[in-house]
Structure 1
Amino acid sequence: MHELIVSPFLDHHLILRPGNSAGLKVPEHRYVELRDAAESGSPVPDWLCRPALRQWGVELNGQSASTALLVRGRPPYEYGRASYEVNMACNWECPHCYLGLKEDAGMEWEDREKVLHILRDAGVLWLQITGGEPTIDRQFPAVYSLAYDLGMMIEVLTNGSRLHNPLLLRLLTERRPYRLTLSLYGATEESYDRLTQRRGAWKAFRRGVDAALDAGLPVELSVIVTRDNEHEIDAMYELARVFGVRTREYNNMTPTYFGSGETLSTQALTRGNQRGVFTGCDAGHTSLHVDPLGMASICKVARDKQIPLLAEGLAGLAKLGGIADKALLRQGGCSGCQLSEQCSTCMPLAQRYRQADAPLGSYCQHSPKEVTTP
């Protein structure tokens, strides 16, 4: 199993340690030197041995570059990041979930394997594995293992309910993710079980997070704030402090990705539209999303136009840039807004809000009288 990943990443060349978010940036000629050393089976160069020991505690002196290093080739595209939704099924039934009706659908292993190779060949170095709840998918271990072995740095988004499973825990400790992001839905059993609509959810989460922390996995918490648990905001952050982990807060409830609005009633009253000004993003150009059926889109939200990867393969991804450019243009009720440069909502998400007949205040920081339309 490789110790380090050596890879082009957009305009850079990186050396990364699986399971560790810190990396090294090297000039192109060093990348070429490591590639040639791996191809010839030469020892790892001295200039890498010293920083590898200092940065990650990895002893490479005397090791063959062909075994210690996984050197990735130059991709035809620059899709450095991707999210892969392995399923839409979940063992919780959270009313705020943007997936809406969570159907258990996915590809057979051969097709998943093909999709992962396409993502690798497209240049994807940072892969987010999500769902639904990815760890309940019967092929999650195989998907995770192959992505790791192909030289991807992996983040898993999970509710944590199955992390106490010995086989799953062994997989994640032997092939470490660089980040394991667990959703936190409350600070007490009562509120947690109520929001997830599953009795025993809190106990499953606590078993999972305790097992992950005991194993030394890189856990972070996504603090989910809704109308049901906003009274426990401080307690949730205190829990994260006790765990000793970093946090991110998710508090803007959005319509489902297909534009229904039943999720909007879960918006926390104490947390309004707190998004920063939208200044553009890399969706469709250097990042992409893949759904459980192998359909590629520019992101998780904008799925109106998708590329069937199994049919079109790597070449199909060339279309995403054009799709992204059109999707991000101001259109519909937003096309004439004179304050669009201050807007906090991207156009694909604004379209979902409009499809859901959402109140303007839920996605636009300006009152109706301040918004002009053609």
Structure 2
Amino acid sequence: MHDLVVSPFLDGYLTVRPGSTTCVRLPAKHYEEVRQSANTSSLVPHWLVGLAQQAWALDLRGQRSETALLVRERTELGFARASWEINLYCNFGCKHCYLGERPLAGLSWEQKVKLIDIFRDSGVLWLQITGGEPTVDPHFEGAYRYAYRQGMMLTVSTNASRLWKPEILRLFRDLPPYRVVVSMYGASEAAFDELTQRRGAWKAFQRGMAAARNASLPLRVSIVVTEDNAHEVDAMKALVEDWGLDHHVYTNMQPTFSGAGDPLLVQSTEFLRKRPVFQGCNAGVTFYHADPHAMVSICKIGRDDQIDLMAEGIHGLRRLGEISDRLMLRTGGCSGCSLSGSCRVCRPLAKVYQEAKAPLRTYCQHGDKEMVHS
């Protein structure tokens, strides 16, 4: 299996190593040199040998390019990242989940291969595999292996409950992920099981995290704060810090992407944060999102005007830029707003809140007074 991936990326070229967060930019002439020698018996160029040693302490002396390197071809579309809900099903039933219904359903194996090929051919270098709980999908291991072989840097978003399983540990040992992002829902059995609505969830989480830490997986923890576990915020932080892991505290819940407000009911008002001013994003321009049936949208939130990749193929992605421009326009309840220049949410997210009839204080500056007096 390849040691390094050499790939176009946006307007340049990168060298990356699976399992490492270090990446190195390359000039076009170096990319072209490696591309031309990738499928030959030529040795890895001396400059790349030196770069690999310096960046990753990786010794490629005497290694042949065709075995040590995976070189990705230029693509016309030039997307950089994508996220993929491989399956919405989850073995937890979290109160705050924005997915709404979570059926066990998705693409066939052949269709998953076709979708991963489209990811590759559209330029995707970083791919996030999420769910639901992605590891419960019957094709998770095969899909992960196939995407890895296409030279993608893989992030897996998980609840950690299955990270102790030997087949998953073996998979991540043999084919290192770029990152494993774990959601944490409490620091005690009572709070964790209450929020996830699953008896035994805390024990499964602890077992999975212990196995993942022992395997030195590249873990990052998302601490989710709701009314059920708000009293344990400091304890959750302390536990993650004791593990020596990076973490992010997630406090602002959002409605389901279909516009149901149930997740907002468990939000901790004490920890509700004022979002920074929204300054635009590249949704639908440099990245996109695919649901379990290969229905593609500009992101996880803006799911209007989805593109059926199984029907349209890669050419359907050409419409994403136009869709993004349209979805980002301030329309509906936001049109003509005097505060739109300093709005804290994008238009697709505002629309989801509006459809859920959410209180203004949860997403809009016009609710700031409401927040102060609540």
Cα deviations by residue, 1:200-235 (Å, 9 ceiling, x for unpaired): 111100111111110111011001011111111100
Structure 1 vs Structure 2 CA RMSD = 1.2
Q: Which residue of 1 aligns with 2:336?
A: 336
What is aligned with 1:347?
Answer: 347
Report if aligned partners of 1:94, 1:195 keep a CA contact under 8 Å in 2.
yes
TM-score (norm 2): 0.97
Aligned to 2:69: 69
Matching of residues 194-213 of structure 1 within 5 Å: 194-213=194-213
Amino acid at match of 2:363: Y
Equivalent residue number for residue 136 of structure 1 = 136
Q: CA deviation at 1:273?
A: 3.7
1:1-374 mapped onto 2 (5 Å cutoff): 1-367=1-367
Q: Is the 8 A contact 1:177 1:218 kept in 2?
A: yes
Count residues with an aligned counterpart: 370
Shift of 1:144: 0.6
Deviation at 1:37, TM superposition (A): 1.5
Shift of 1:54: 2.2
CA distance in 2, matches of 1:268, 1:291: 29
Q: What SS class does the counterpart of residue 366 from structure 1 fall into?
A: helix
TM-score, normalised via structure 1 length:
0.97
SS in 2 for 1:270: helix
Whether the aligned pair in 1 keeps the contact of 2:127 and 2:153 (CA below 8 Å) is: yes
Q: Name segments (4+ residues, structure 1) moved above 2 Å.
A: 365-370
| 3-state SS in 2 of match to 1:43 | coil
Indicate if the aligned counterparts of 1:295 and 1:307 stay in contact, CA closer than 8 A. Answer: yes
User: Secondary structure of 2:285's match?
Assistant: coil
Aligned equivalents of 2:267 and 2:368: distance in 1? 20
Distance, in Å, in 1 between the alignment partners of 2:248 and 2:157 is 12
CA deviations 1:22-42 (Å, max 9, x no partner) are: 111110000001111213331
Cα distance, 1:369 vs. partner? 8.6
- Looking at structure 1, the residues matched to 183 and 190 of structure 2 have their Cα atoms a distance apart, in angstroms, of 16
Structure 2 CA distance, aligned partners of 1:258 and 1:302?
10
Bigger shift: residues 131-140 or 360-369:
360-369
- 2:289 and 2:20 map into 1 onto residues whose CA distance is 23
CA distance in 2, matches of 1:65, 1:313: 32
- Does the 8 Å contact 2:192/2:202 carry over to 1? yes
State how far apart, in whole Å, the 2-side matches of 1:41 and 1:227 are.
Answer: 60
Q: Distance in 2 between matches of 1:8 and 1:176?
A: 21
CA distance in 2, matches of 1:123, 1:229: 40
57-66 or 121-130, which deviates more: 57-66
SS at match of 1:220: strand
Cα shift readout 1:166-221 (whole Å, capped 9, x = no counterpart): 01110011101111000000011111111111111111001111111101110110
- Give the C-alpha shift of residue 342 in structure 1: 1.1
Code of the aligned partner of 1:30: H
Distance 2:57 2:147 in 1: 24
Question: CA contact under 8 A between 1:82 and 1:126: conserved in structure 2?
Answer: yes
User: What 5-or-longer segments of structure 2 have no aligned partner?
Assistant: none
Structure-1 separation of matches of 2:72 and 2:38:
10
Deviations 1:64-108 (A, max 9, x none): 111110000001112100000000000000010000121111011
Query: What amino acid is the match of 2:365?
Result: Q
Q: 1:53 & 1:217 partners in 2: Cα distance?
A: 22
Shift of 1:339: 1.3
For each residue in 1:256-308, what CA deviation from the matched residue of structure 2 results, as whole angstroms up to 9, or x when unmatched? 01001111111112222432110110100000000000111100011111111
Q: Tell me by how many angstroms 1:49 deviates.
A: 0.7
Is 2:339–2:365's contact at 8 Å kept on the other side of the alignment? no
**8 Å Cα contact 1:273/1:365 also seen in 2:** no
Identity percentage over the alignment?
52
Give how far 1:366 is off. Answer: 2.8
* Unmatched tracts of structure 1, length 5 or more: none
In structure 2, C-alpha distance between the alignment counterparts of 1:212 and 1:101, rounded to whole Å: 29
In structure 1, distance between residues paired with 2:90 and 2:4: 34
**Residue type at the aligned position of 1:267:** Q
SS state of the match for residue 367, structure 1? helix
